[in-house]
Structure 1
Amino acid sequence: MRLDRSFELDRKAEQIDALAAKRKNVIASDQMVEGRYPVFAERAAGAHFWDVDGNKYLDFFLSYGTVILGHADPDVDDAVVREIRRGFAVGLMKPVQTELVEELLEIIPGAEMGMLLKTGSDATGAAVRLSRAFTGRDRVVRWGYNGWHDWCAQWDNGIPEASRELVDTFTYNDLDSLRALFERHPDGIACVVMMPFMVEAPEPGFLEGVRELTREYGALLVFDEIRSAFRLALGGAQEHYGVTADLVTLSKAFANGYAVSALTGRADVLRTLEKVHISSTYYSNADAMAAALATIRKLRSGDHLAHIWRLGERLQNGLRELTAKSGVPVAVVGHPPMPFLDFAMGSEDDNQSAKRVFYAATIAEGVFFHPNHHWFVSAATTEADIDQALDAARSGFEALVAAGWTTEALGARS
């Protein structure tokens, strides 16, 4: 597999594009296997994309999970084109905005009112500001990946310490760690902002316990469902686990790749918007709203999520068979629509070394798995695609065995 054109463009981009220049030092969750993964894509359709060198890939990355129906879905794209041709950047509200919010209120548990924004960070940032204004409190407790703004960015550089002083975090599936924060600040916490899960599933009673603690101490519960909504279930983790938050942030699979997000929840909290400043020139642009409305209606009209769950389960079951047969310390984790592999080689350096072996083999087979981020199954993924993915994974596990990454070999080293 040649990647000459991709790397040529990458070298040029590093000189003029700040985001491209930082790629080699970006956080680990964005790292691929250097020299093996393409950098520039040419086009995409369905469950596949093609890089600028003409190589075709079966895509389980799906633009960080924003694509759920498949790349370039004609129903979604046609809806966007129609809206563009009618003039999508008027600055006034357009009917599609009200239609989309109405649709959300029918789908998202606990949604009495909603507001549309552009990005996931917009939505979580708006949730925090509204929570502070509504409760009259300043402290925020967060867990998971919640965006790039000062209160939640993963890197401290460039962020004043004062921005961090009012933000705490806790240990997932450990209610005592959360209760300790409330006991330390009984009247100071405005909200708990958390992903309902990342890879590890919530233990029975955990999300319910978080819900009870926030009520007990008068804080708001905000579920960051940027990844999980419209994928785990149409109504997200709230629907799947039966726990309802006060506010919920939505994006990613919401619009099959188009840039739009939403904040939904209690009307009394969202009406606090009248007293705070949250604004953007592009919030009213209707192109992405048309994409979201078309995506949601298509998801509601068929068995797309059942298809995604079924193929995700088949992929996970096949991976479990391969791991058991290979004897490598790798666990199949995550929910079927968002599967992943957890490497347990003994140290993070060893994990990354083993990942480079495995993912170099799978990408060589034309299967694009992200080494350090959830994978995703789309409605365009087929049974044949799962066969190809499992064949590629078999090559990856064989490469791990050949490189001495089995449990037996690791035990002999120690």
Structure 2
Amino acid sequence: MTKSDTLTRSLTEVDANFQARPGILAGQLATDVEFPVFAEHSKGSYVFDIEGNRYLDFILGFGSVILGHSNESVDNAVIRAIRRGINPTLHTTDQIQLTKLLCSSIPNADMVAILRTGSDATTAAVRIARAHTGRQHIIRWGYNGWHDWCAPRETGIPQATRKLTSTFEYGNLSSLEAVFLEHRHEIAAVIMMPLEVDVPSASYLADIASLTRKNGALLIFDEIRTGFRLALGGAQEFFGVQADLATFSKAMANGYCISCVTGPKHIMQCIENISMSSLFFRSRDGIAASIATIESLRDGNSLTKIWSLGNKFMTGLSAAAQATGVPARAAGLPPMPYIEFDLKDNSAAKQVFADAMIRRGILIHPNHHWFICEEMGGNDIDIAVQNAKLAFEDVKHFL
């Protein structure tokens, strides 16, 4: 397949309205890499575009798919649930069942607030922290959503809102200390992804927890990516460091729309005094999918397989880079691997590599974690590594 062949029909499907507003259509795929635009269907570890091309999918709905696309047990649970009414006026006992599952799976989770999206969850956690501490300022790191307080781009956002948020340098504890000194007695919470590509030591996260609590603030782990993927209990379980609050979405429902905030009762109970409501928080689809997904993950077999496949993939990537003489290495953790080039123009090399992989039927993103799902097999990893070696050759020619 060629890029032009892949995109021919996809581009003709984009009507004039979308052509006038390409960013709305592109969303998270807005890069210099030419992705296939429209999926026809997805199954297991593969996505099929409307041209009939098949892609081994390492983006997996940006990490929301952990068992595999169109997982039968999850989809059947959703079908059974929505046949009883997808958005009942009243609460459902399914909410209670999911809450119990979450509290038994996640460290330090006495109470749960069920929401809809990752941005819902991080924004709710920040509001809870402000209500609990009586403070307003937030320190953040990583991608925490698109709402005003944390959106990566400032256009359209009041500066008064942005002034209540500060960032720090990941891996540098003194950077966080400096923000606490600058805003002494003003910090409500530190909200952070436990990791992105660089893997921290448990002691680094423990030091952050200690520093945050010493300053009277709450530590919030944004586990939208890491939750139910590094371990059933997410990064808190994996690193052995407890946050005061944690947020989850993505893998908790194998692609269906749901999120949550978890934490101890003495913090979470202040929800009664804040505004936190949405039309779709009670929707049965995400709740049913989450129950089915977590039940599938509880025995540990799925996550063991994902870690094993991820290890194989990362080892193969590094070996392929070495064999071609390209200065690159696998990075991240096996359930959510990535690639780093030891080059001055790291970004351009990632673009070339991703473009070369996509042309060969391997769907990866140049600027975002990749992910492993249970439906992948050893042969899938072998195919991906073989094509990675060819893609590294393309990078070599680019250099």
SS in 2 for 1:301: coil
Matched, 1:391 2:386: yes
Deviation at 1:31, TM superposition (A): 3.4
Unaligned runs of 5+ in 1: 406-414
| TM-score (structure 1 length as normaliser) | 0.92
Task: After TM superposition, list the pairs within 5 Å mapping 1:106-121 onto structure 2.
Answer: 106-121=104-119
Give the match for residue 30 of structure 2: 31
Change (3 A) 1:13 1:55: farther
Deviation at 1:32, TM superposition (A): 4.2
Deviation at 1:274, TM superposition (A): 0.9
| TM-score (structure 2 length as normaliser) | 0.96
| CA displacement 1:32-85 (0-9 Å, x = unmatched) | 4444x2010000000001001000010001010000000000000000000011
SS in 1 for 2:368: coil
Matched, 1:7 2:11: yes
Q: Which moved more, 1:323-332 or 1:58-67?
A: 323-332
Q: Which moved more, 1:85-94 or 1:74-83?
A: 85-94
Percent identity among equivalent residues?
46
Separation (CA, whole Å) in 1 of partners of 2:207 and 2:348: 38
Is the CA contact (8 Å cut-off) linking 2:23 and 2:30 kept in structure 1? no
Is the CA contact (8 Å cut-off) linking 1:138 and 1:190 kept in structure 2? yes
Change (3 A) 1:231 1:191: same
Among 303, 306, 309, the alignment partner of 1:305 is: 303
Is the CA contact (8 Å cut-off) linking 1:10 and 1:39 kept in structure 2? no
Give the match for residue 364 of structure 1: 359
Give the match for residue 91 of structure 2: 93
Separation (CA, whole Å) in 2 of partners of 1:21 and 1:139: 31
Is the CA contact (8 Å cut-off) linking 2:33 and 2:354 kept in structure 1? no
Deviation at 1:289, TM superposition (A): 0.0
Deviation at 1:282, TM superposition (A): 0.9
Separation (CA, whole Å) in 2 of partners of 1:319 and 1:158: 41
Separation (CA, whole Å) in 1 of partners of 2:334 and 2:17: 36
Runs of 4+ aligned structure 1 residues displaced above 6 Å come to none
Give the match for residue 343 of structure 2: 345
Is the CA contact (8 Å cut-off) linking 1:13 and 1:21 kept in structure 2? no
How many residue pairs get matched? 395
| CA displacement 1:97-125 (0-9 Å, x = unmatched) | 00000000000001011110000000000
Separation (CA, whole Å) in 1 of partners of 2:351 and 2:203: 37
Task: After TM superposition, list the pairs within 5 Å mapping 1:103-252 onto structure 2.
Answer: 103-252=101-250
Separation (CA, whole Å) in 1 of partners of 2:300 and 2:331: 27
- The one-letter code of the counterpart of 1:112 is D
Is the CA contact (8 Å cut-off) linking 1:31 and 1:371 kept in structure 2? no
Give the match for residue 292 of structure 1: 290
Unaligned runs of 5+ in 2: none
| CA displacement 1:282-340 (0-9 Å, x = unmatched) | 11111110000000001113500000000000000011111112221222100000000
Is the CA contact (8 Å cut-off) linking 1:116 and 1:262 kept in structure 2? yes
| CA displacement 1:350-370 (0-9 Å, x = unmatched) | x34333432232112211111
Is the CA contact (8 Å cut-off) linking 1:118 and 1:260 kept in structure 2? yes
Is the CA contact (8 Å cut-off) linking 1:143 and 1:194 kept in structure 2? yes
